[in-house]
Structure 1
Amino acid sequence: MANRSTRVAEQMKKELGEIIARKLKDPRIGFVTVTDVEVTGDLQQATVYITVLGNNRKRSDTLKGLEQAKGFIRTEIGQRIRLRKTPELMFAFDVSAEYGSKIDTLLKQIKTEDNEKTEDIE
């Protein structure tokens, strides 16, 4: 059975995705996907990992919009999840997709080089 912080994190991930997509009207906030939420054991802080569709400027603008909307988002989370104290939110970019893409590119490059070396030998 999952511990309380894990259950809260899973519920927060679901609710945050809904709040960001449907409730926030800030034009700076782009297409955001909440990829993960990590909540401390004492439920005082939550790190919200996000991806944003677009370039670095769009990512930066989205982060600024989310930072400004933290109070509203925390209020919404508190009403939806009903915790005694809603965790303090910290937003961070999830770079795992970027790393995965780079690794995939490197693996393809290695495979191509190996194929070329094999052809040279034959």
Structure 2
Amino acid sequence: MRKNSIKNTRVSTEVQHELSNILRAGIKDPRVAPFTSVVAAEVAPDLKTCKAYISVLGDEKAQADTLKGLQSAEGYIRRELARTLNLRNTPEIRFILDQSIEYGVNMSKMIDEVNGER
């Protein structure tokens, strides 16, 4: 199976959607920030591993605490993912902090400052 096959793209999208639902409704860990979103999910072609890119609204401490909370709840999240998705193998999830939204906001502020000086 090719890396960017239609099946792999569909599975990645479905995993991203279900992870978003699990994070929104199921995680009770106080370390996980309430404004945590799943930006993207990349499932390996063999469906054994998954990289979940998350975005956290808050400071660096909130981001680090959210990552620790998600890593400690990985078993629960994987079990819920297996319950909702009908896959032969439930992928192991690795959470990666995605700071592209924060980077974009900072760049937008800088552009506005430069335009305001003119």
Is TM more than 0.5 here?
Answer: yes
Q: Which one of the candidate residues 13, 27, 30 is aligned to 2:30?
A: 27
**Amino acid in the other structure paired with 2:26:** K
Which residue of structure 2 lines up, in the alignment, with residue 89 of structure 1?
A: 93
Q: Which residue of 1 aligns with 2:19?
A: 16
Alignment of 1:43-82 (within 5 A): 43-82=47-86
The letter for the 2-side match of 1:9 is S
SS at match of 1:48: strand
1:45-71 deviation per Cα after TM superposition (whole angstroms, max 9, x unaligned): 111111112221111111111001111
Structure 1 runs of 4+ with >3 Å offset: none
Amino acid at match of 2:104: G
Correspondence for 1:119: none
Which structure 2 residues correspond to residues 99-110 of structure 1 after superposition, within 5 A? 99-110=103-114
SS at match of 1:21: helix
- Matching of residue 39 in structure 1 with residue 33 in structure 2: no
- Could you give the per-residue CA deviations for residues 36-89 of structure 1, whole angstroms, max 9, x where no partner exists? 111122222111111112221111111111001111111111111111111110
Unaligned runs of 5+ in 1: 116-122
More helix by share: 1
What is the CA–CA distance in structure 1 between the aligned matches of 2:23 and 2:116, rounded to whole Å?
42
Structure 2: give runs of 5+ residues left out of the alignment: none
The two structures, once aligned, show a CA RMSD in angstroms of 1.5
Count of residues in correspondence between the two structures = 113
CA deviation profile, 1:8-48 (whole Å, cap 9, x unmatched): 11111111111112111111111211111111222221111
